[in-house]
Homo-oligomer: A and B are copies of this chain.
């Protein structure tokens, strides 16, 4: 749980950006965006990312969210939009990682790392080669 690397907090490190609206419902008793609401905001950004890269329609494959880690850096507010920046972090044999960061009025508020596992009736399965190619076109650019 170290503080994220500096490149994680730069919008330009990510190939995909989506403006995601906040809701009054996202606020907790302290008037800030609740940590569970952050999970929903990142999920919405991630689904839009999946649409953008063409995964949403490929229902011949099934994948599962295996792990979600969110780092909370500063408090978010309503009603301003959140910019969710997203890209692929790494591509494994049977899984891939989606890395996101969320910004509000230009300030980095949270990061989110999600591991997705390709699955079949009998458990995890290898990533198809064309799938791997498509994901490879949307890598984050800050790692090296």
Query: Can you report 15 residue pairs joining A to B where beta carbons are below 8 Å apart?
Result: A1-B67, A20-B21, A21-B44, A23-B43, A24-B47, A27-B29, A29-B31, A35-B39, A35-B43, A36-B40, A36-B43, A51-B79, A68-B69, A69-B69, A69-B70
Range of interface residues on A (Cβ < 8 Å): 20 to 34
Number of copies: 4
Residues of B contacting A21 in the complex (Cβ-Cβ under 8 angstroms): 20-21, 44
B-contacting residues of A (Cβ < 8 Å)? 1, 20-21, 23-25, 27-31, 34-36, 39-40, 43-44, 47-48, 51, 64-72, 78-79, 115
On whether A68 and B70 interact (CB within 8 A), knowing A35-B43, A39-B39, A44-B25, the answer reads yes
Once the chains are docked, how many angstroms separate the CA of A72 from the CA of B70? 14
The smallest C-beta distance from A122 to any residue of chain B, in angstroms, reads 15
| A40→B68 contact, CB < 8 A | no
Residues of B contacting A44 in the complex (Cβ-Cβ under 8 angstroms): 21, 23-25
| B36→A1 contact, CB < 8 A | no
